Amino acid sequence: MSVIELANPSRFLALSGRALPWLAAATVLAFVVGIIQISFAPDDYQQGATVKIMFIHVPAAWLSIFGWLLMSTAALGTLVWRHPLADVAAKAAAPIGSAFTLMCLVTGSLWGRPMWGTYWVWDARLTSVLVLFLMYLGVLALWRTIEDPTQAARAAAVLTLVGAINVPIIKFSVDWWNTLHQPASVLRLGGSTIHPAILVPLIVMAIAFTLLFLTLHLAAMRNEIMRRRVRSMMMLQAAASSES
């Protein structure tokens, strides 16, 4: 079976329909394991129990960027190959990515207040993530503004690829500028600086959140295909009523 055949919407619906229950079950299982591990994870010697916020904040932050990278890859599919399933993948990822970015901002703010003494500071990391959130909202607005899905997909793809410039800025903001936000402590050259007793639950939660993202994305893609079918049928109905 070729990639083009796999990317056929009907075939995608059949395959994703089979994969979705397994993916959902794996997500629930990963969260159960993660939550058990969090309950046994020790407090940080400096931050105390607030380190538990890290188990949701860090995966949300990773997935906010992952969502944009996924949309950027799909944008290439839209602009280069003009494949309608790439449009569907990009559109379905936008609300999910924005939700994870909101989660990152809210949990980070709630972690910042007891540790930094403030909910918010305009440092490079926090501001660049806020910009990411606003760009997600911009893409969502663009999808809603243009009625024709193909035209909307192209406009959203251009905006997504322009917005991808922000991804390395978010990642390296803590190295390029003097920020209140701490530098990278997991994905860094020289290895993680986190003790395994805290690192392992963090990785399990990151896997659980990633599975959740993929499950929701697959379900949202299926919805988007159905939405386009409804739109086609509405157009058929309108054409039939204008003829009669």
Closest to another protein by CB, 6 vs 162, is 6
Q: Which residues bind another protein (CB under 8 A)?
A: 9, 39, 43, 48-50, 52-53, 56-57, 60, 84, 95-96, 99, 102-103, 106-107, 110-111, 113-114, 212, 216, 219-220, 222-223, 225-233, 235-237, 240
Query: Is the Cβ–Cβ distance between 221 and 92 less than 8 Å?
Result: yes
Find, among 143, 159, 140, the residue nearest to 151 by Cα. 143
Shortest gap between Cβ of 172 and another protein (angstroms)? Answer: 26
Question: Rounded to the nearest whole angstrom, what is the least distance from the CB of residue 165 to another protein in the complex?
Answer: 26
Q: How many residues does the chain have?
A: 244
Nearer to another protein, 44 or 123 (CB): 44
Shortest separation between residue 28's beta carbon and another protein, angstroms: 12
Nearer Cβ to another protein, position 63 or 174? 63
Closest to another protein by CB, 55 vs 163, is 55
Residues 207-244: b if buried by 16+ CB within 10 A, e if exposed = bbbbbbbbbbbbbbbbebbeebeeeeeeeeeeeeeeee
Shortest CB 99 distance to another protein, Å: 5
DSSP-assigned states of every residue in 37-78:
HHHHPPPBTTTBGGGGGHHHHHHHHHHHHHHHHHHHHHHHII
